[in-house]
Amino acid sequence: MKILVTAGNTQAPVDRVRCLTNIFTGRTGASIALHAHLRGHEVTLLTSHPETAMDRQAVACPPERWGLHAYRTFDDLQDLMAQQVPAGGFDALVHSAAVSDYLPAGVYNAANHTRFNADGRWTSDRGAPMLVNRAAGKIKSDLPELWLRLARAPKLVDRIRSDWAFLGVLVKFKLEVGVSDDALLDTAERSRRHSAADLMVANTLEGTDSWAFLGPIGGRYDRVERPALPSRLLDEIERLHAERHRG
């Protein structure tokens, strides 16, 4: 099989030296990619943290059947996926990257005589409240406060089936914070169906180093210990791929 794995976090630049990002390093995605290669599959890994794979790559992954592409920003990953997914001939895609949900869409400070009040309203004692655009290569740090406007980012996982016409086995990841298992599984299954994914890996931030739910397998989700996740996930990907080719 040819397998594409995305891993790591994306940066959303605020200016040329600052960004918004998240805490994830892509170790899980790198482990899945390396495990798939060890099983004999041809693997392409897109990651913002190539070091998570490189230490083990020299031993585990000779150059044949292995490709690694590094990215940094949301746009970098989107461009890589737009190139790789339609043209790569992949049989499976494991989308474990922690992609930015929002992107900066402007940086502002309040104009003279404009104030933001504790009740959530903008007011001005001289005409309409106004904001001043402070976008720059490096935003100045001499203002008492700045206002960052965020706009919803496109959901890359939702482009995989539609815009990029991927027909293979699709694996989506979902993480929630401070929720019960039942709430996590309900959210995960609705999210899987929304993106037309075949499999979902779901977990909470509190349990992210210990376990994850994988499913649906036989109509249910199984709780999998973290070290066993790459193997269990590959078992299911291979099973689904084989069933489709038999059919």
Whether 227 and 174 map to the same domain: the answer is: yes
Whether 75 and 167 map to the same domain: the answer is: yes
Range 165-192 average pLDDT: 97
CA distances from 214 to 90, 183, 225, 241 (A): 21, 15, 10, 17
Q: What is the pLDDT of residue 62?
A: 61
Q: What is the pLDDT of residue 235?
A: 98
Whether 137 and 19 map to the same domain: the answer is: no
Q: What is the pTM of this model?
A: 0.92
List the 169-176 sheet strands across, edge first.
66-70, 42-47, 2-7, 92-95, 169-176, 199-204, 211-217, 220-225
Query: CATH number for the domain including 169?
Result: 3.40.50.10300
Whether 43 and 124 map to the same domain: the answer is: no
Higher pLDDT, 96 or 209: 96
Whether 114 and 190 map to the same domain: the answer is: no
Q: What is the DSSP letter of 20?
A: E
Tokens for 13? 């630049």
Whether 206 and 84 map to the same domain: the answer is: yes
Contact 188, 202 (CB under 8 A): yes
Q: What is the pLDDT of residue 185?
A: 97
**What b/e string do you get for 151-169 counting C-beta neighbours within 10 Å, with b at 16 or more?**
eebeebbebbbeebebebb
pLDDT, mean over the chain: 93
Domain that holds residue 226: 2-101+155-246
Last residue of a domain, one of 151, 182, 211: 151
Whether 119 and 230 map to the same domain: the answer is: no
Whether 170 and 230 map to the same domain: the answer is: yes
Longest CA–CA separation in the chain, Å: 73
Q: What is the pLDDT of residue 246?
A: 82
Whether 90 and 117 map to the same domain: the answer is: no
Q: What is the pLDDT of residue 14?
A: 93
Name residue 204's beta-bridge partners.
Answer: 176
CB count in 10 Å sphere of residue 115 = 11
Read off the pLDDT of residues 47-89 as tens digits, 9 standing for 90 and up. 999 998 875 554 455 667 899 999 999 999 999 999 999 998 9
Read off the pLDDT of residues 8-54 as tens digits, 9 standing for 90 and up. 999 999 999 999 999 999 999 999 999 999 999 999 999 999 998 87
Range 144-156 average pLDDT: 94
Whether 12 and 22 map to the same domain: the answer is: yes
The phi, psi pair for 121, rounded to 5°, reads: -110, 145
In DSSP notation, 158-218 reads HHHHTTS---SEEEEEEEESS--HHHHHHHHHHHHHHTT-SEEEEEETTTTTTEEEEEEET
Tokens for 246? 């038999």
Last residue of a domain, one of 151, 182, 209: 151
Range 95-109 average pLDDT: 95
Whether 9 and 127 map to the same domain: the answer is: no
Range 143-150 average pLDDT: 92
Whether 86 and 14 map to the same domain: the answer is: yes
Domains: count for the chain? 2
CB count in 10 Å sphere of residue 132 = 13
Q: Is the pLDDT of residue 247 over 90?
A: no
